[in-house]
Amino acid sequence: MSETHKSVFTENGIPFFAGKKVWITGHRGMLGSALVRRFEGENANLLLTSRQELDLCDQRAVLEWVDKNRPELIFHIGAKVGGIHANATLPADFLYDNLMVQSNVMEAAYRSGVKKMVFVASNCTYPTKAEQPIKEDALMTGPLDDNIRAYAISKIAGIEMCRAYNKQHGCNFISIIPPNLYGPGDNYHPQHSHVVAGILRRTHEAKVAGKSEFVVWGDGTPRREILHVDDLADAMKCLMAAPVTHDLFNVGTGHDLAIKDLATLIAEVVGFEGSIVYDTSKPNGTMAKLLDSSRIRALGWEPKISERAGLETSYRDFLKLLETPQSGRL
């Protein structure tokens, strides 16, 4: 795991986050928990509440909670997420839950006078045939991947809501679009996981079962840009603290891997020495999603964690989880 990152940003000579009330929605998820870790030593007043304590789909509850706790800054991460299979089979759930959650959080943030909010969107909001690397102005310039259309539309709505609140109410809401995330806290569920976690689990299971091969969906040719969750957490802190002139930022590494190469790297990390078989009856998904992250790099942020080192943290996390399983992640 990379070392705890302390903010280099100051406000009137004082560390930017010191003493501020910071609400992190979805703090128990992979990205939320990474952000909490990255606040160690910041002396910020973190506002953290579980789903059992606050249902973000309940408008009245959200309004009352925000009015009572008065966060100054919000990292809005809480969302319904999942891989291709989950998105393809549960489109109504993905659309309804995400629209409800982000609507409630943004309205409450506006009403309570929150100083700034960072909203986490997704790279699936970009058209399937967007020019590579994808710039932020590619949003809504073409058709979306049918397998994740509902989720993508919910996140596009979130980006446009941020812009609408900025325009109508003078809010300071910005959105970020990361690539495929991975790292500690990931979901390794066999049907609901994303690409890195899904391949990692199948590789490990093949290894411990003594199998000679394991299966990867698609033909292996699509390319994916992956970003360690700790790097994204640092980027979010950078965007929260920095004065910005844009309302949408890509946050990526600047390079991608073919699924075949990613699967091979994961097999090396896991120690699997068999073959990788590609199931061409399953969907490839979008063929490429490389982001142009020049906007945020101009602010001084850059990723620190290499793919191999990052995948090693993921595998350690997975092995630890096998010892003490948590509901929903396996």
Q: Is the distance from CB of 211 to CB of 275 less than 8 angstroms? A: no
User: What is the C-alpha separation between 327 and 330, in angstroms, rounded?
Assistant: 7
Q: Is 194 annotated as a binding residue?
A: yes
Q: Is 240 annotated as a binding residue?
A: no
Measuring CA to CA, how many Å separate 66 from each of 72, 77, 120?
Answer: 10, 16, 19
Nearest to 234, CA basis, from 182, 310, 303, 291: 303
Q: Is 31 annotated as a binding residue?
A: yes
Q: Is 151 a catalytic residue?
A: yes
What would the 3-class secondary structure string for 199-251 be? Answer: HHHHHHHHHHCCCCEEEEECCCCCEECEEEHHHHHHHHHHHHHCCCCCCEEEC
Q: Is 38 annotated as a binding residue?
A: no
Q: Name the active-site residue from 96, 110, 126, 151.
A: 151
Measuring CA to CA, how many Å separate 328 from each of 50, 116, 213, 244?
Answer: 15, 32, 26, 37
Beta bridge partners of 276: 214
Reading the block at residue 117, the tokens are 């909010």
- CB count within 10 Å of CB 142 equals 12
Q: Is 155 annotated as a binding residue?
A: yes
Nearest to 115, CA basis, from 212, 249, 23, 1: 23
Q: Is 181 annotated as a binding residue?
A: yes
Q: Is 180 annotated as a binding residue?
A: yes
Q: Is 27 annotated as a binding residue?
A: yes
Q: Is 282 annotated as a binding residue?
A: no
Q: Is 30 annotated as a binding residue?
A: yes
User: What is the C-alpha separation between 239 and 261, in angstroms, rounded?
Assistant: 32
Q: Is 26 annotated as a binding residue?
A: yes
Q: Is the distance from CB of 178 to CB of 227 less than 8 angstroms? A: yes
Binding annotation: 26-32, 155, 178-181, 194, 202, 217, 224
Binding positions for substrate: 202, 217, 224
Catalytic positions: 151
Annotated binding-site residues for NADP(+) read: 26-32, 155, 178-181, 194
